[in-house]
Amino acid sequence: MAEKATGGVERVRAALAERGLGCEVKELAASTRTAQEAAAAVGCDVAQIVKSLVFRGARSGRPVLALVSGASRASEARLAELAGEPVVRADPAFVRERTGFAIGGVAPLGHREPPMVFIDRQLLGFAVVWAAAGSPNAVFAVAPGELARVTGGAVAELVEPA
Ligand code: 5CA
């Protein structure tokens, strides 16, 4: 079913407001579909972009959301340990159905079905990070501690050891 292009962004705005986060969603003319494009559009380092990566619990079928730096790669092995079951990368249909967002616009909050959320500790090293806001040209800035609070995410090491 086609969703209005703005539906995802409105859901993110509502979720931010509901959690008392007064940050502004920026809708840009430029694409923010990938971490690189988002960094170029807002003028920050790619490491300060939050990737919202959707996985599927292999046994439960539950969505698992990994929030990692745009410069890093999430480890499926680490996520599996944390989730308590193997996880596999979600396909685009699963992402769309469970989150209500299309790939490239998946936000860390405002999902249709609440996922299990994990946040990589690296993100806590920045004063401010930027995350997708429900569309491939919308982002918001947030302090990473606030991101952990509003997503209810557990802070952990999620990335492959170097
Ligand atoms: N808006 C940007 C910056 S916040 C964004 O959403 N970046 S992202 O990294 O969170 O989302 C893009 C990610 O979606 C890519 O890193 C990639 O891992 C994933 N992705 C892209 N294509 C597919 C696909 N066909 N199936 C599953 N995942 C995909």
Q: What is the pLDDT of residue 2?
A: 45
pLDDT at 23: 84
Ligand 1 atom closest to the CA of 38, numbered from 1: 3
Which residues contact ligand 1 via a Cβ below 6 A?
Answer: 32-35, 38, 49-53, 89, 91-92, 103-106, 131-132
Query: pTM (2 decimals)?
Result: 0.95
Q: For residue range 124-139, what is the model confidence (pLDDT) as tens digits?
A: 999 999 999 999 999 9
- CATH number, domain 2-156, options 1.10.1740.10, 3.40.50.2000, 3.10.20.30, 3.90.960.10: 3.90.960.10
The predicted structure's pLDDT at residue 22 = 83
CB–CB of 137/124 below 8 Å?
Answer: no
| Tens digits of residue pLDDT in 82-119 | 999 999 999 999 999 999 999 999 999 999 999 999 99
How far away, in angstroms, is 31 Cα from ligand 1 center?
A: 13
Check whether 3 has a pLDDT greater than 50.
no
Residue 154's pLDDT band (cuts 50, 70, 90): very high
Confidence bin at 6 (pLDDT 50/70/90):
low
Taking CA atoms only, the protein residue closest to ligand 1 atom 9 is 51
Percentage of the chain modeled with pLDDT above 90: 91
Q: Which atom of ligand 1 is nearest to the CA of 95?
A: 27
d(Cα 83, Cα 116) in Å, to the nearest integer? 8
Residue closest via CA to ligand 1's atom 14 equals 103
Please give the C-alpha separations between residue 153 and each of 21, 39, 97, 118, 127, in angstroms, as whole numbers: 16, 23, 21, 5, 18
CA dist 137 and 132 (Å) reads: 8
Average pLDDT of the chain to the nearest whole number:
94
